[in-house]
Amino acid sequence: MKQKLYSNGQVLSIVILRILTGWHLLYEGMIKVFDPGWTAAPFLNNAQGTFAALFKNIASSPLLLEIADQLNQWGLALVGLSLILGFLSRPASIGGMALLFFYYVAYPPFIGVEQGMAEGNYMIVNKNLIELFVFLLFFMFPTDRIIGLERLFYRSKNQTFTHNVKNVAAGNR
């Protein structure tokens, strides 16, 4: 028996959120790609909290800094693209979580840590942390095969595709 995994409303809600989040990361990535002077060095050098020394070390090594710069700009852009298109967005969500984890721990909104330039007021929870968990949601509730490029690949491979609760629960989507 065919059984829909999510209702239409649920799919729509998640896909809209997926596209908006993708838009945000794609723009963050592209703005850096198109800015020849951009580097993560100031961000890393001013890092606060427990891992500040680690980020400073990255900034002080030209090789590591280059890697961090490339991973940042292209990582953001590719994760964003993946989310908008609905293609490989589960692995992209892990990448997104990793990026946001670094942004979060580089400037953690903890009590007693200097907050620097924040456009709002945060205590422990900030927008980076929330977006990180939005990615967890995308990982746990994948929609690429319902609305997204992945649907084309999957359906052409598997003509009897159904959204089956059992299969998903067994990890065999």
Q: By CB under 8 A, name the binding residues for another protein.
A: 15, 19, 23, 26-27, 30-31, 34, 37, 41-46, 50, 52-53, 56, 59, 81, 84-86, 117, 119, 146-152, 155-156, 159
User: By C-alpha distance, which of 91, 96, 86 is closest to 143?
Assistant: 86
CB of 8 to another protein, least distance (A): 11
CB of 172 to another protein, least distance (A): 19
Q: Return the amino acid letter for 130.
A: I
CB of 110 to another protein, least distance (A): 13
3-class state of residue 123 by DSSP: strand
Q: Which is nearer to another protein, 84 or 134 (CB)?
A: 84
3-class state of residue 125 by DSSP: strand
Q: Which is nearer to another protein, 44 or 99 (CB)?
A: 44
CB of 152 to another protein, least distance (A): 4
CA distances (Å), 56 to each of 61, 89, 111, 118, 151, in order?
9, 31, 21, 20, 43
Q: Tell me, what DSSP letter sits at residue 50?
A: T
Report the C-alpha gap between 36 and 102 in whole angstroms. Answer: 23
Q: Which is nearer to another protein, 53 or 111 (CB)?
A: 53
Q: Which is nearer to another protein, 152 or 169 (CB)?
A: 152
